Amino acid sequence: MPSILLDTSDGIGTITINRPDVRNALDRETVSQLTAAIADCDGSAEVGAIIVTGSGDQVFVSGADIRQMRERRRDDGLAAINSSAFSAVERARKPTIAAINGHALGGGCELALACDLRVAAAHAKLGQPEVGLGIIPAAGATQRLPKLIGLGRASALVLTGDPIDAATALDWGLVNAVVPGEMLMSEARAMAGRILRRGPLAVRLAKLALRASARVDLDSGLLIETLAQAICLDSDDKQEGMSAFLEKRTPKFTGR
C-alpha cells in the first residue's frame, strides 16, 4: 500500500500517513511522499486548505521508524531528513491543519507542530520521547515547541520524554481543539471550511505574517504586516469583502 494517501474534495486536500502496520511511523520513503503530497496540494488550484492525519483511529504518527533510525549516523543527522520535510509543511502557502487521531509522538508531534492549526481526538497523547532512545527531538521540537507553549512546558516534554493527554495539550495551547474521536475529521474539515470562506489572498498573507513573527524582531514583523495589508487594500477581494459586508450578502472572493 502507498505510505501516503491524498484525497481532494470541497477545496480541502487531505493527506493521510498510511502505515498502520508500524503505527504510522515515518521512514525515508514516507517522508519523501509527504513532501511531494504537500507540494501537490500547495500547487493545486483545487485546494485551499490542507489536512494532515494518520490512518486508523489510534495513532497519528508514532514517530520515526526506529529500525531505520538505529542505522543512521552523523551524516544522516546532518541531512535533516525529517526536519526538511516538516519545514516544507510549515512553508506551505495554504493553511495546514493537523487532525491528530491518536498518539502523536516524536516526529508525529513535530509534524503536528509544523502545521498551522491542530485538532486532537480526546484519546490522543502528544509527546517527545526521544531522550529515552538516546537522541533528541531534531525535526523542529526544540525550536517550535518553546515558541508555541513556552520554554518551561517545552522543557518538561523534551527533557522527561513524558507524553501529555489531549486535555493537557489544549490547556497548554499545544492544540486548538479537542473533540471525541468520531468527530475529529468533521471538526477538522469544518475548521478548513471556515478558512475557505475567507478571502484567500488575505489568508495567505496573514499566514505569512504570522509565521514571520517567530523569526524576526518586532519592527521587521510590523513592516511585513504593513506590506501585507497594503497588498490586501489594493486587492479585488478587499473590495468584494467590504461591499458584501455593507450589502449584507455573502462575499464571492477570487483571490485577486
Q: What is the maximum alpha-carbon separation in the chain? A: 63
Residues involved in catalysis: 110, 130
Contact 14, 49 (CB under 8 A): no
Separation between Cα atoms, residue 207 and residue 76, nearest integer Å: 31
C-alpha to C-alpha distance for 119 and 100, rounded to whole angstroms: 6
CA distance 100 to 102: 6
Which runs of consecutive H residues, i.e. helices, occur in 92-247? 107-114, 141-149, 151-160, 166-172, 184-196, 200-212, 218-233, 236-246
Name the 3-class secondary structure at 174.
Answer: coil
Give φ, ψ of 68 to 5 degrees. Answer: -75, -40
The cell for 156 is 518538561
